[in-house]
Amino acid sequence: MNEPFTQEEIEGATKDTIEFMKRMAPIHLVPQDVVMIVAWALKDGANKYGEGAWKGDDTSWIKHTKKAQGHVKRWLRGKSIDEDSKVPALAHAIARLMIVLHHEINDMGIDDRNKVGRE
């Protein structure tokens, strides 16, 4: 199977590349049932923190990544459904990672990743 982009292209991605990817996205390949379930995870977050609270410039990339890892760890331990929201744990993890990706590609929030070796 051919990869859509080479590692060189990915590492050299510019804002123009990201904009192209957004416009030309093969959205038909995204499982819509998963999108619908992730929306429920986002709704749970909206109920807890306020709708759109994750869009702020004070949003920590690491905080959301660690929260995503927590949901994955619970899933790995056999807890497929979040006890509070009744939404699948992996949907919560995907929602958190979507938030981070949204911030990264739109140059938003706080990039508080370890900077060592990224120059």
Angle subtended at Cα 111 by Cα 97 and Cα 118, rounded to the nearest 5 degrees: 105
Model's pTM, two decimal places? 0.79
CB 31 within 8 A of CB 63: no
Q: Provide the residue range defining the domain that includes 50.
A: 30-105
CA–CA–CA angle 62, 30, 107 (5° rounding): 35
pLDDT tens digits for 30-58? 999 999 999 999 999 999 999 999 998 89
User: Does residue 4 fall inside a structural domain?
Assistant: no
Q: Could you tell me which residues come within 8 angstroms of residue 78 by beta carbon, excluding any fewer than 6 positions away?
A: none
For 71-106, how does the pLDDT look when each residue is reduced to its tens digit (9 = 90+)?
Answer: 999 999 999 999 999 999 999 999 999 999 999 988
Look at the chain and count its residues: 119
Number of domains in the chain: 1
Residue 8 domain flag: no
Comparing 36 with 28, the larger pLDDT belongs to 36
14 near 5, Cβ under 8 Å?
A: no
